[in-house]
Structure 1
Amino acid sequence: MPVNMVPEQLSRTWHTVIRLKPVQVRYQLQYRMPSGNGRLNRFRYRSSMAVTGSPVKLIPWITKPHAADGNTFSFLNREMEMESGIRWDETTFGKLWTYNLNYMDYLLQERMSTAEGTRYIMDFIRDLPRNSTGKEPYPISLRGINWIKFITAHQIRDRRTDHALFAQYRLLKNHPEYHLMGNHLLENGLSLLFGGIYFRDQGLFAKAEKILAAELPEQILTDGAHFELSPMYHQVILDRLLDGINLLKNNHVFDNQGPLLALMSEKASLMLGWLERITFSDGTIPLFNDSAFGIAPSTKELVAYAGRLGIPVRMTRPGQSGYRAFNFQNYEIRLDVGEVGPTYQPGHAHADTLNFELYHRGKPLIVDTGTSTYEKNGRRMLERGTAAHNTVQVDGLDSSEVWGGFRVARRASIIHLHEEGNTIGAGHDGYSRLGITHYRRFQCEPDSIQITDKLTGRNQKEGTARFHFHPSVQPEIEDHTVRFRGGTISFTGAGEVSVTEFQYAPTFNNLQPARVVEVLFTGKLSTTITFNQQ
């Protein structure tokens, strides 16, 4: 390792660790000790745990995509056939693929038979002592809910399944993910809720209540957004929250369920409103931060599920999340003028401050690069970096210092936010280490958008504004003007304007060639997007 890399790594680590909550540090240390997380690795299925569950009642939930056919499994656009038996710790396609295998969402896919689903469960139980992934808290959380739903749908009463499930819930109860917090801890709480109701276990329910009562008010912002600011994870969490509401509404087991149900219903209503606001007219979400299509239920599915549960859509004023939406007959634009995410858990954040996505007449025009992988590699770094987004990069640096796959060291903070009518402007200090502040203003009119970028400060540095076009769009440059079917983009204050290729990632492991326009400038750049009259 080069000597000059050591201070840089120490700096990144320091600026990451100082933002952690004390409870995260404590649990990080505890789970790394042999007497802590070591218990996970020495887990043994104990058939002597004679705890059986009780049937629960649930109204129809959202079914999962088809992912399993015999011993052939397909997740994240990667398919594998396991002819000699299911390898629950298979890592050929990366850790996230292994997680999906262990979540067992496919138990809830359409036309999953009782016999086939039971075979998967029994195979998993037999292999559990050797399956390190299956014993991690997050897979336990998702799998536990899936097992209880499958058991409910197929009216299964099986002691071996119950004993294994209770053993896993005991493990989860003793190892909630306080070292990570964020959506992981919320998933832990929602799953423990299912375990508490299914097993009529006051201890599991109390743990769930403690987690949810603390985390829901913190993680669901005042405008309804999930605080990690990934529209995809917002959909995932909302789906799970609606499942929890489904469970509590239809199963009255503990006397103190009422306040928790009220809290969950209130937050779900807010989440629905925020999601409807940022969803485009074609039903898709902006791919801000770690987001990809095909992972979470659609907005339409979630609104319908909420309707079946009697949960209304509650719209509030745009606020804390920093995500804004403007809709006109000619176009829809989604803006990010918010923070990178919670200070102590920005694992799914990108260096994309003041980013935007633009749809023209219901079709994507300017898009985010997206997310194709969670592996710690060059592609992951590229997709999280500023150059992969529709904002300004200065001196080749990222506006927030993303590193290590899921970490952020120094990060941009929003300053000077101003909103009036269809105009919104904000600055950020992500380039303060260069002595630069980036300020961007959007002025949205029915047939045009004016974007003004300013780089101010003690140093004069060159900025690069990027505009990533959807693969279906072929932009052409003529005299500093970009022409596309349906309109033009012109620049004032630009130096060089060029077009090059990038890889668009709408789903995991799916890269599509597309074009990005790069505009070099110093000081100030005015960009005018004009749509043709039709």
Structure 2
Amino acid sequence: MLSELDFDPVFLARFDVDAILADRIELLHHEEWVDWRESWHAELSTPLWRFNLHYHEYLLPLAKAYMDTGDKRYFDKGKAIVAAWMAACPRAKGGVAWDPYVVSLRVASWLAFLGELSDELAEDEAFVARINASLAEQYVHLAQHLEKDLLANHYLENLKALVMLACHFNDERTLVLSLRELQKQVGEQILPDGMHFELSPMYHKIVLEDLLRAAAFLEMRGYDAGDLADRFRLQDVCDALWSMESNAARTPLFNDSGDNVAKGRDALLGCARNRFGIEPRFHNVLPDAGYAFLERKTSAGVVKVVFDAGRPGPTYAMGHAHCDALSFECFIDGEPWIVNCGTYAYQDKRRLDFKRTLSHSTVCVEDAEQHECWAPFRVAEFSRAHLLEVGANHAEGALLQRGLGIKVKRTISLEDEGILVRDESEPASRISSAFVFAGEAPHVEGEVDSVSYAPEFGSARPARRVIADAQGGCRETWIPYPAFRQRGSR
């Protein structure tokens, strides 16, 4: 059991357990009425929403409500949902229920539900026998359908589930094989600086949870906690998370990210601390990922900037990449102020709009998109970015624009009264510097419009965007903090 994660307050707040009792469930800001006997195969909402329905993560809020109140309705509802799924979703029927990624998440939910309510469930031996029989069937199915076609976070998710199930069923042979492959994927997917190689802060947290859960099951089987922490690079992964999210009240929006999918920062780091003795360390740069972090106490409060000058992702897995190179987000006392627009949804007509260059607080050269995002999860040609220099209060990165051979350099300086952004191109070209404001927007010279800002999946609101053009290939923009007057843009 990892109660720090199972009952993370940030996670629990996403679910209305009383609505679930009434057969209504909200996932990703969309609510549906559910017939637990039949709705598993209904065309409800979007494919991503249906995936989430089959994840069964909402079993844990029901378990917590029962543990807190003693109201058996929550306990019985959780059991009834599992029983209804088993009756309605035999393996032969296939579909979303048996997608390998879905199986990988659902078995983790079931194992957590069994662990948190082990004493109560022990009184219903028939139910426990049925759920174990289903887990065994899902175990076999998953082992035969590993997502080696997608790899990346999907394959790691599969392997985490195999390790947990192998421990649960005392299957030493499969455990040895799956643990060996999981360690291999940790070496492949966790960069030397600790960041997950798809460079999404959201997926980074999901992967950290995967590693913590796998390590916890292995520790219960007798593996040494310190050795597991080393095998799974937990210190480095936690360092990257803390560096990314210290002094930030939500998940930074780089590549596909949103604030209502992964477990919260505090729960993840608390679990790593409690279970494996890990204290996260702050680094102002993740050189392999291409992220730089500037933090400064100013007259406006504690200001944090996250600056991205990294590649879009691994060349064989760019499905979650955005055109966000040289973009930055700025938080003041934790609250987002200058932002990227986010992701909103995977299956939506606006999917590619959210991925476009000017949906991010970055610079665009000659109206060219940084990367060729030609389908919701497909990237062809892509530009290349890298960090040039990172100091205490400034960061500099460069981008080589695909197809044009134009080099764009951006320098961000964090000052006491505002942020100075310098963009320049070589050879001199027309550049457009975009700034999206989630909070109070100061006057910044340029064309002002409104864009959709989606800090969470399924939820968007208007935000003010300023696009400042420069014909001569160089522009400096002064952005005063909300408490200060504008000093002027150059």
2:388 corresponds to which residue?
Answer: 417
- Give 1:275's aligned amino acid: L
| CA distance in structure 2 between the aligned counterparts of 1:516 and 1:365, rounded to whole angstroms | 12
Which of 336, 340, 360 pairs up with 2:332?
A: 360
Q: Which stretch has the larger CA shift, 154-163 or 214-223? A: 154-163
Which of 342, 363, 372 pairs up with 1:392?
A: 363
Residue 39 of structure 2 aligns to a residue whose secondary structure is coil
- 1:123 Cα offset (Å): 1.0
Which of 478, 483, 487 pairs up with 1:528?
A: 478
| CA distance in structure 2 between the aligned counterparts of 1:111 and 1:368, rounded to whole angstroms | 36
The 5 A counterparts of 1:242-391 are: 242-252=212-222, 257-258=223-224, 261-263=227-229, 267-315=233-281, 317=283, 318=285, 319-330=287-298, 331-375=303-347, 377-391=348-362
Provide TM-score, normalisation by structure 1: 0.79
- Give the gaps of 5 or more residues in structure 1: 1-56, 481-496
Residue 398 of structure 2 aligns to a residue whose secondary structure is strand
| CA distance in structure 1 between the aligned counterparts of 2:310 and 2:442, rounded to whole angstroms | 29
2:138 corresponds to which residue?
Answer: 168
Which of 495, 508, 511 pairs up with 2:457?
A: 508
Which of 8, 22, 29 pairs up with 1:77?
A: 29
Residue 433 of structure 2 aligns to a residue whose secondary structure is strand
| CA distance in structure 1 between the aligned counterparts of 2:399 and 2:441, rounded to whole angstroms | 31
Aligned length: 451
- Give 2:65's aligned amino acid: R
Q: Which stretch has the larger CA shift, 315-324 or 326-335? A: 315-324
| CA distance in structure 1 between the aligned counterparts of 2:387 and 2:330, rounded to whole angstroms | 24
Alpha carbons of structure 1 residues 530 and 84: separation in structure 2 relative to 1, 3 Å: closer
| CA distance in structure 2 between the aligned counterparts of 1:145 and 1:83, rounded to whole angstroms | 23
- Give 1:452's aligned amino acid: R
1:445 corresponds to which residue?
Answer: 415
- Give 2:81's aligned amino acid: Y
Residue 232 of structure 1 aligns to a residue whose secondary structure is helix
| CA distance in structure 1 between the aligned counterparts of 2:415 and 2:76, rounded to whole angstroms | 58
Which of 39, 57, 69 pairs up with 1:87?
A: 39
- Does residue 116 of structure 1 match 2:68? no
- Give 1:324's aligned amino acid: A
Deviations 1:97-139 (A, max 9, x none): 0000111001111325432222111111111233510111101
Deviations 1:194-250 (A, max 9, x none): 100111112431332132111111211121111111111111111222122222222
| CA distance in structure 1 between the aligned counterparts of 2:33 and 2:484, rounded to whole angstroms | 53
- 1:58 Cα offset (Å): 5.8
Q: Which stretch has the larger CA shift, 333-342 or 241-250? A: 241-250
Alpha carbons of structure 1 residues 177 and 519: separation in structure 2 relative to 1, 3 Å: same
- Give the gaps of 5 or more residues in structure 2: 67-73, 486-490
- Give 1:516's aligned amino acid: R
- Does residue 198 of structure 1 match 2:168? yes
- Give 2:460's aligned amino acid: L
Provide TM-score, normalisation by structure 2: 0.86
Residue 256 of structure 2 aligns to a residue whose secondary structure is coil
User: Is residue 147–residue 158 contact of structure 2 (8 Å, CA) maintained in 1?
Assistant: yes
C-alpha RMSD of matched pairs (Å): 2.3
1:9 corresponds to which residue?
Answer: none
